[in-house]
Amino acid sequence: MALTGQPPKSLSLNQKLATVLGMMGMGILLLATFNVAFPNKTLWLTVSLLAISFGTIWFSWDAYSKKLPGIKNDGVWFKSISSRGLWGWMAGLALTGFYIILYFYPEYLGQVNGGENKGVIALFDPLSKLLSGNPASQWFVYGTLYTVAILIFGVKFLWKYRHNRYERLRTFSVMFFQLAFAFIIPEVMARLNGDKILEGGSLPYYDLKSVWPLNYYNFEGYRIKGFLSSGDIGFALLIFGILSIFVITPILTYRYGKRWYCSWVCGCGGLAETAGDAFRQLSDKSLNAWKIERWVVHSVVVFVTLMTTAVVYSYLGTDTNKYWLTKSTFLIGVTVLLTLVFGWVMIFKRAQLQKDAQYGAIGYFVIIITLIGFHFLSGEGQVFLFKSETLRKTYSFLIGSIFSGVIGTGFYPIFGSRVWCRFGCPMAAILGFQQRLFSRFRITTNGGQCISCGNCSTYCEMGIDVRAYAQKGENIVRASCVGCGICSAVCPRGVLKLENGPLEGRIDSNQILLSNDVDLMSLVNQK
Amino acid sequence: MEHIVIIGNGIAGVTAARHIRKLSDKKITIISSETQYFFSRTALMYVYMGHMKFEHTQPYENHFWKKNRIDLIQGLVTQINTADKSVLLEDGQSIPYNKLIIATGSKPNKFGWPGQELEGVQGLYSKQDLDLLEKNAPNNTFCKRAVIVGGGLIGIELAEMLRTRNIPVTFLVRENSFWNGVLPSGESQMINEHILEHHIDLRLNATLKEIVADENGRVKSVVLAETGEEIPCNSVGLTAGVTPNIDFLKDSGIALGRGVKVNRFLETNITDVYAIGDCAEQHQAIGNRRPVEAVWYTGRMMGETLAQTICGNKKEYNPGHWFNSAKFLDIEYQTYGWVFPEKKKKENETHFHWRHTREKNCITIAFDRDSKQLLGINTFGIRLRHQVIDQWLNEKRDIDFVMAHLADANFDPEFYRTYENDIISKFNADFGKSIKPKKKSLKRIFQLG
């Protein structure tokens, strides 16, 4: 956001005015945070959100609508905000600060335990009451701003990629799922609580598209109680939550790759693709980063599995007469499931795993099974050596708050827009595991057309060195690929295509540089 | 241990080095005066435009070279002594070799225009040229207008680059339509229109008479040959093609023509000295190819071939079907096989041309008048699947087959509008046919069962 300088990094007059307008909208929120009393909250909240929205949309309109359709990354690496310059660091600090306050010090936003809201949260009361009938909370404020961000930066993205229908449809999709599924439906669902239709029960807040383990708390005791107390609808939602991870996501990921979720539906992905788009180029593409990514993200999966197992275990009973699912049957079930998955991979898919992935898989499997076995041997007591509550709290703090929020989004302008999705999200890791081993999705490399320019790698938000594959004529089948399609969009030579096709020949490590001497290629491919 | 010395760290030299390392344990040294590490030359434009930083144009991380035991020397080779098998660097260092690979690429053409050496006048080929452009045309207050001389791929790229900084550009093209020595007229015309859309002052039929200096020896204007018009400018880009970069070989005893003369094994007249990439010139042109091919892909293929020869698998350079691609501002271009412009095509080469009525998409398919065999395809704004077209060319498919199966060849991103129906109905109208488009088949595309 360099306000001075030469084209292409300078701002036009329109963009400067738009920035001022947007900042004024933010200013209202800031004043409210410092307890400036706004006489008419509805009016001032509307003014603020409209100013922010119009500022952003005006800015983008000026940036893209006057240019011919096409890839317009001009000056991305000159602008301070998008190249880790002063503005980038300041934005990073501001966002990080916001997340720390949001998660750990909501009282500074006006959250009052057992009393009426103050500050900026109070400013959002009218909107919250309109939707759910309840006063706002810090999460409502966050959810609203989050949704507004996806919508207005979504509009920017739609302009920027107006020549690309894949990008447009994908962006409409994330905008829709955020607005409807993450924001409006759960709020409205809250109105049903206590209603006859729920048999007087009360549903937990449920963003239907947020699947366990991203939604790591989905099977915690209080939520299960909520579901089970809410009649058929509650029970159906609980079943839906279980089917989501065990049936629906595997089928969709098999057919389309994990992109159907990560860059078409998911809220974290939605924010990364819209508000985070200006920072996608900042992701680290080094081999080292890839190594760290694989260990960290899979460790999170193990952590969330252990934590959820322990939590579910903690509220289950022991008496089979009361309920068929007891502590023991549950643990046996988990063991069987993990063994099946582990066995399937090791027997059928081992060749597709790198050495360290094999060691990792074996190591983690042994750890989990040992812990479960340890439990059985030691008789009653806490599972996994720790109290389930300790595990849950630790996960919620480290992964749920620090990783996904403070680092994941706060550091957009420093580490790029997908830090959370790449290093931290257990959902992305599970879908990625399926994508790598059992999916029709791949990015096809177009024969020999690659010129190694590096646009694909530079603009890969997941830090995949796309070029390393493309220049060898190899398809790109990476667990982390979220299928955003930007590599294909920025490629000046039409080399990359995201597509679903037969499993056969999908992962071909042979070099297929076409229009070359056939005999030569067979020599080159001799290992 | 045999020592392979490679002069030049472009795509040809680096590909040769990588494949020699894959196949053998030989000592490998790459010498370049341009940069320490390999980078993608075709990506330099994106650095000036701010799409990438220079480091992003480097396909391998810096530790790659040490790990693969490829020694890098940054230095300028001034002389090759083929008698005692050594190369001499500018700093006096002498490096012995057992086998020498010359992969020194190209340099911009300069046709002896008056003023071509003035300050502010430059070509666009090397990293140094990029740095120079940053000095000559940093912004539109320092550079109030730039003039580009030569209507080829580099010329239009330079125009695109300068326009991202809002620098007014005058683009002098000798021909009466952009790049029509390569493109058929319909395509060339579409690009003319697109250039104008980008507010580039395109001058067709315009050649440079001279470049005029100001009192400090800097360029202040150019004069056109045809009209005598003087165009004030602060920067001049000379982009009238490239020529092999081989001046330092003049007295080496290595046979030279336009480039370093090589046979099909990429051997020069001197034993153990080879040449690949832009700087190599075939004694006999291969098929319709030019003796000197200054193209990324051919440099890469020559590198792959020569690595085999050097490692004991003597191989001829035997490129398959011609292909190439480029991007003209916002329009992607791909070509497979041969589609010649009107003034160069043989009598039997028939063209079918389709252009979208509003958008900038078009396609030209060349086929044999008599046998109907597919000769080549050009597309603009439509991506094609290399593998499918390659297969059609191998199988010598006829034009009717190609038209019916056009959907199989599409490589555009998912959900893009497809134009096959439009294209085929125009073909049917033009040639009195009634071909029905077949639906895209994954089975055919991925050659299953």
H-type helices in B63-205, by residue range? 63-67, 127-136, 153-164, 185-197
pLDDT top residue among A378 and B115? B115
Whether pLDDT at A129 is above 90? yes
Interface test with B, best of A440, A453, A455, A524 (most B CBs within 10 A): A453
Report the Cα–Cα distance between both ends of chain A, in Å, rounded: 50
Whether pLDDT at B54 is above 70? yes
CB contact B320 to A (< 8 Å): yes
Q: Which helix (H) or strand (E) holds A373?
A: helix A355-378
**Are A56 and A15 in contact, with CB atoms under 8 Å apart?**
no
Banded pLDDT at A423 (limits 50, 70, 90): very high
Whether pLDDT at B366 is above 90? yes
Q: Which residue in chain B has the smallest CA separation from A500? A: B442
What is the least distance, in Å, from the CA of A76 to any CA of chain B? 5
**Are A159 and A176 in contact, with CB atoms under 8 Å apart?**
no
Q: What tens digit of pLDDT does each residue of B296-338 get?
A: 999 999 999 999 999 999 999 999 999 999 999 999 999 999 9
Distance CA A177, CA A207 (A): 10
Question: What letter does residue A423 receive in the DSSP assignment?
Answer: I
Distance CA B121, CA B137 (A): 11
Listed in sequence order, the residues at least 6 apart from A332 whose beta carbon sits closer than 8 Å to its beta carbon are none
Distance CA B176, CA B188 (A): 10
In this structure, the strands spanning B70-74 and B27-32 are: parallel
Tokens 């963009």 correspond to A15
Whole-angstrom CA distances from B30 to A359, B11, B14, B19 are 38, 12, 8, 13
What value does the mean pLDDT take over residues A280-299?
A: 95
Question: What letter does residue B384 receive in the DSSP assignment?
Answer: B
CB contact B312 to A (< 8 Å): no
**Are A402 and A269 in contact, with CB atoms under 8 Å apart?**
no
Distance CA A193, CA A239 (A): 19
Residue A269 sits at φ, ψ, to 5 deg, of -60, -40
Q: What is the ipTM of this complex?
A: 0.95
Q: Which of residues 155-174 of B touch A (CB under 8 A)?
A: 164-166
* Three-class secondary structure of residue B221 per DSSP: strand
What is the least distance, in Å, from the CA of A59 to any CA of chain B? 18
Q: What percent of chain B has pLDDT over 90?
A: 98
From A78, A448, A467, residue closest to B386, measured CB to CB: A448
* Three-class secondary structure of residue B222 per DSSP: strand
Question: What letter does residue B360 receive in the DSSP assignment?
Answer: S
| Cβ-Cβ contacts under 8 Å, B166 against chain A | 7-8
Q: What tens digit of pLDDT does each residue of A383-419 get?
A: 666 777 888 888 889 898 888 888 889 999 999 999 9
Q: Which residue in chain B has the smallest CA separation from A71? A: B330
Give the strands of the sheet with B77-81, arranged side by side.
B77-81, B86-89, B94-96
Token code pair at residue A27: 């200013």
From B56, B313, B390, residue closest to A447, measured CB to CB: B390
Cis peptide before A8 (omega within 30 of 0): yes
Give the strands of the sheet with B27-32, arranged side by side.
B70-74, B27-32, B3-7, B99-102, B273-275
Closest of B196, B158, B195, B156 to residue B48, by C-alpha: B158
Whether pLDDT at A516 is above 80? no
Distance CA B213, CA B234 (A): 10
Banded pLDDT at A10 (limits 50, 70, 90): confident
Distance CA A296, CA A399 (A): 11
What value does the mean pLDDT take over residues A474-494?
A: 96
* Three-class secondary structure of residue A149 per DSSP: helix
CB contact B58 to A (< 8 Å): yes
Whether pLDDT at A510 is above 70? no
Describe chain A by its helix, strand, coil percentages, rounded to 5.
65, 0, 35
In this structure, the strands spanning B208-213 and B219-224 are: antiparallel
Tokens 């029509």 correspond to B180
**Are A484 and A263 in contact, with CB atoms under 8 Å apart?**
yes
What's the pLDDT at A37? 84
Whole-angstrom CA distances from B243 to A73, A80, B172, B190, B250 are 32, 39, 20, 28, 15
Describe chain B by its helix, strand, coil percentages, rounded to 5.
25, 25, 45
Q: What tens digit of pLDDT does each residue of A74-90 get?
A: 999 999 999 999 999 99
Closest of B151, B128, B176, B145 to residue B32, by C-alpha: B128
What value does the mean pLDDT take over residues A87-99?
A: 95
What's the pLDDT at B166? 95
pLDDT top residue among B205 and A191? B205
Q: What tens digit of pLDDT does each residue of B210-252 get?
A: 999 999 999 999 999 999 999 999 999 999 999 999 999 999 9
Interface test with B, best of A67, A514, A519, A522 (most B CBs within 10 A): A514
Interface test with A, best of B15, B44, B52 (most A CBs within 10 A): B52
What's the pLDDT at A8? 83
Q: CB count, 10 Å around CB of A39?
A: 6
CB contact B419 to A (< 8 Å): no
Interface test with A, best of B142, B325, B328 (most A CBs within 10 A): B325
Banded pLDDT at A527 (limits 50, 70, 90): very low
* Three-state helix/strand/coil letters over A438-469: CCCEEEEECCCCCCCCCHHHHCCCCCCCHHHH
Angle at A55 between CA A49 and CA A60, to 5 degrees: 130
Banded pLDDT at B107 (limits 50, 70, 90): very high
Question: What letter does residue A326 receive in the DSSP assignment?
Answer: B
Most confident residue range from A5-9, A313-317, A519-523, B37-41: B37-41
Angle between helices B11-23 and B296-310 (to 10 degrees): 30
Closest of A102, A183, A120, A80 to residue A414, by C-alpha: A80
Whether pLDDT at A172 is above 50? yes
Q: What is the DSSP string of A56-88?
A: HHHHHHHHHTTSPSS---TTTTTSTTTTTSHHH
Banded pLDDT at A1 (limits 50, 70, 90): very low
Q: Which of residues 332-371 of B touch A (CB under 8 A)?
A: 332, 334, 336
Listed in sequence order, the residues at least 6 apart from A93 whose beta carbon sits closer than 8 Å to its beta carbon are none
| Cβ-Cβ contacts under 8 Å, B198 against chain A | 68
Q: Which residue in chain B has the smallest CA separation from A162? A: B416
**Are A445 and A428 in contact, with CB atoms under 8 Å apart?**
no
- Alpha-carbon torsion A73, A74, A79, A84, what sign? positive
What's the pLDDT at A383? 61
Tokens 């129906």 correspond to B421
Q: What percent of chain A has pLDDT over 70?
A: 93
Q: How many residues does chain B have?
A: 449
What's the pLDDT at B139? 95
**Are B77 and B7 in contact, with CB atoms under 8 Å apart?**
yes
**E strands present in B14-97:** 27-32, 70-74, 77-81, 86-89, 94-96
Whether pLDDT at A439 is above 70? yes
Token code pair at residue A81: 């905000």
